[in-house]
Structures are given as C-alpha cells and as structure tokens.
Amino acid sequence: MKNFISKINIDFEHLPIDNIVVGDDLAIIAHDAKNLKISHEPIKIEKAMITVCTSGCCSVKINLAEYEVESPMLVTLLPGQFIEVGDVSANFCAYTIITSKRFIDMINIPGWQQKYVTMYNNPILPLNSDSLMALRIFFSILYRAASNTDNPFRLQVIENLIRVFYYGGVSEEHRQMTGATNKNSVVERFLELVHEHYREERMISYYADRMCLTPKYLSKIVKDNTGRPASEWIENYIILEARAMLQNSDMTIQQIAQSLNFPNQSFFGKYFKRATGMSPKQYRQH
C-alpha cells in the first residue's frame, strides 16, 4: 500500500498526521500541498480512492477529462482510471481513503456494480457544508476504529463503517448528482467500451458495430458532445496507457508494444511519436 501511495505522488513519510495502513487493502491518510509531488504525467490507478477536498483547489485530468477540484468536493477514483494532477494551491488539504479491489469485493456491497458506472462517469462532486461536516465526522470515526489495533473485531468494524459510508455518503451524493445531469448515453456507452477494449481495438468501426451505429454517426455524436473525435478518444487512451507504462514500469518497449496489441515495436514507436512528438525511448529518457 505504501508503494501505491508513493506511486500516486504522495509523500507518505512526511504526511501531517499519523496515518493508517492495513496491509495492502486499506489506507486512511490526510495530506496537503506540501506532500504532493506534481509530475504532470498520467498515473493508472490500481485501487479505489475516495478523497474529500477540505480546503484549497487543484486542477486534475481524469481519463482525459479536465476538472477543477475546489473545496469542498468529493473525488472518487476507481481501479483502471488514469489521473494527471496539475496545479495545486498552497492551502490544499484533503482526506483520502484507499481500498484495494479485493477489499471492495470482500465487503460485498449489494448494488456495487450498478453504481460503478455512475461513479466512474461522475468522479468529481461538489459538497455542501452539511455533507462536508458529515464526511469529516465519518473520517474521524473510521480513523479511530482503524487505529484500535487491540480490538479483535477491528476489521469487521472497518468493513461495516465503509458500508455505512457507501450507503449514506458516496452513493447518495452520486445519486443526487446524476439525477441533476443529463449526459448523452451514446457517448457514455462509447467511452465505457473504449475503456474496456482500447488495448485490442483501435478502429471506430468496432465500437460502432457494438453499439449498432454507423461509424460516421458515432463519430458525429462523440464530437458534438465532447469536442473531440471518437478516434482521438481511442488514441488518447492508448497513449495514456503507454506513457504510464514507460514512466512507471520496468517493461521493455517491445513488451509495452505487445501488451497494447501492436504488431511490432516499430509500429508502436511510429504511433507513439505521431501522437507525442517523441519516440518511446526519448519519452522514457525525458
């Protein structure tokens, strides 16, 4: 878990208060601008993260979409998403709960899968003063329960508190938000499919066929609603994954090309350079 926290550019050793880490499944931390190392590079999230921004602001990209996080706000990140942190104000402070996918499965929250897409598509939610106070209280209770290592039922207490948090906090906030928004369902479905299949499928025709649409119509709908062509969304997902692997893994360029389903390293290199202006080797060195 500490390795993951370092990977997301949080300096764990110099956090402002004592923080809780339970194996590789759970972490409860408080952090501020001094503990964030801004890299302006994409990071692929391997665990679920729920962050409550209590003061200050920062700019962030989540799956290529740009957001301004300004307190008080709730940020929900799920395994498989990409995040790039931009500018952070000097007074930025936040609480974050990090859980592994195994821990989420172990809690076995009914309806989780149905809520997953809603949270995935709405990662940033503003909070009112009452919601912020409730989340502060919850964080304090969870922190105290997780700190009590003498309690033989500590893990059971943590599991049930997370359930309460989900049903009374995160789930309700997302329900209110999605009830007030009206996103284009075609675009949402397209982005879901791209997230699932971009490693294997790079042609718009594949996604159009899956959605029983013509490639031309799908491209128009995506461009009209996002400002970007469908082909650009597909390419950006691939490049994000490649950038993250070049920066954060020991894989060779050939192994990265194979994992992204390119026919060979040369083809991958040309594809990457056309999108970024640098070869994979140059990007890794840079």
Domains and CATH numbers, the chain: 2-180 (2.60.120.280), 185-285 (1.10.10.60)
Q: For position 179, what pLDDT does the model report?
A: 44
Residue 25's alpha-carbon distances to 7, 40, 60, in angstroms, are: 16, 27, 25
Return the number of other C-beta atoms located less than 10 Å from residue 212's C-beta.
6
Helix (H, G, I), strand (E, B) or coil at 249: coil
Give the whole-angstrom CA distance, residue 199 versus residue 145: 41
pTM: 0.67
Interval 35-68: pLDDT, tens: 887 777 788 888 889 899 999 999 998 887 889 9
Query: Would you state the structure tokens that stand for residue 149, as one six-digit string?
Result: 């290592």
135-163 b/e (C-beta count within 10 Å ≥ 16 → b): beebbeebbebbeeeeeeeebebbbebbe
Note whether 57 and 63 are within 8 A (CB). Answer: no
**Pairing between strand 73-77 and 124-126?**
antiparallel
Give the length of the chain: 286
Read off the pLDDT of each residue in 60-83 and give the average, rounded to a whole number.
Answer: 88
